[in-house]
Structure 1
Amino acid sequence: MNLPVPVVTIGLLVLSNLFMTVAWYGHLKFKAAPIAIVILVSWGIAFFEYLLQVPANRIGYGHFSAAQLKTIQEVISLSVFAGFSWLYLGERLGWQHAVGFSLICAGAWFVFHDWG
């Protein structure tokens, strides 16, 4: 089965961002853990992020420009982080988060809009 390039690229980027969000922020619930251990565990988790992120960019480049790939990654990253911070960290997401995220999505629209 050959999936379209955008589906594969975005799917891999979503999965990679799940790993990276856990690597960067998952330790915040474990403040008593020694920082050296936290760093090593985070690096171990981030390894799996790279196993997904690098192929996503290789597969997507050509169909998407580098700027578009980065924009997709950032929008996915913020989406994953919003869910993670709410579900895992128990943080409240307010109207200001929705407004800020909407502005970032508006910026993404400019990156993908063909002005030529």
Structure 2
Amino acid sequence: MSVLYAWLETGWLAFAAIAILWLETLLLSLLSSRPKARFRALAGGALAGTFLLAALALALRGDALGWVLVFLTFSLFAHLLDVAGRLKDQSAALSRNTEKLSNPAVLTQRR
């Protein structure tokens, strides 16, 4: 148990989590029928998680608090880029199709 506490205090546990996160991302991508598309879909979240875990590692060590803020900012930007990419991919599903809505709307107004 003392090894786990040592890894936690030195921040190595967070770096091990980063390695596991990227191995999982690569494995899921390789197992997909479209590996490049799957990797692009997962990379934004993995990048945001990497920056969060790096900030955690630095915070656990208790030094370089300025770098903690930098990595938290990087994580926020990676998250926003990930969300923007997901919204761009799903923009067709989010657009309103007024042709399909016009007939039920007319029928509702007549009743």
Q: Same fold (TM over 0.5)?
A: no
Q: TM-score, normalised by structure 2?
A: 0.45
Bigger radius of gyration, 1 or 2? 2
Relative CO higher for 1 or 2, CA cutoff 8 Å, sep ≥ 6?
1
The structure with more helix, counted as a fraction of residues: 2
